[in-house]
Structure 1
């Protein structure tokens, strides 16, 4: 980050004080400003509305209001905020619903310091935190309709009808669903990265998608990408 760039502003929502303290120290040491901390989902929603952070780190399991409902409310009141879900479970059934609700990805709480900071920068740019294999297994499991406890995804803001897309845009969306970056998309389709960015922007606009995380979910749910396809959801991580 150069001196001309504004510092990223982050809110940490977790019911464990030690987790919040540790994450705050890591982010602060890397030039990321922690503007608030919440001990439950309701506090997270209040802080999100008042502080308007760039990124919110949101624990899934919290008292008063869980992270899933808090994520829905935070994103409803501030479309510019990006949410990263925090979990101690590598196949938590709530994570898929959170991605479908608009969260930009998730991290295990034992994430390394460097990965945490890079993840915050990544989602602040509108990218999805979809790597490595944990998200691939999770999305494939739940998008395939496997029975599991927990809430079902509900994304009324996303248009599931792909009829508005051109054949090329459908092709791009399918590759997004497999987790390809813009550079990889450009190489796969023999296009410039600028052209790929234009296609991605149009897809997001037509389908009401927030970011690449929702594009992955939609590609699976509409059958554009099938679980088990080579490269599925292997998005480049930080």
Structure 2
């Protein structure tokens, strides 16, 4: 039975308030989630080749949306699209469906939009998990939900890449006494995501990097989200998987 619309709205508002309170408790810099959600809109076509275009979707949370960057060229989506265009000699149509604050469960709305994409399926990049760590989502549930999203996209013809959860305990703004438990949860979710993604037919790419602990320039001024340098580091991790995927798609019209 579907819940009444007013009840659904109330439930959603309650979740947002709870997420805001949790985020305030975890960090020590006065961060307010709903006051820091602006990111460059990178949607568009990259490359000027005359061959048929290739679709690239980016789904997930604030990392996928590239919160923390200031220009389109710095965003993870734009850098991936440009790299794919150079590698394939084809224009790449990029659409970023990712939104700050998204958990794996909330990502279902992004998947629905992806399945209505007007162009032939290409590559879908998913980066999600950090908000599940801080929101207290049961980690096995988050992994099962991720596998469900991957399965739906794969059945629709998309090649899916999953950037697994980074180490939330390395975020500079996180209170010191919370870093060890958050790191443990992050590593556990990373392991569960890897298994779930691979079993559902996706390629899992680890985004956890020890440099996050020692290089403050990898974080934006809020000391929570990756800076342009941080997103460039994620691109390095994704480059190999993107290159292998272009080989698979090289003969696709």
TM superposition score category, shorter chain reference: 0.3 to 0.5
TM-score (norm 2): 0.39
Higher fraction of helix: 2
TM-score (norm 1): 0.41
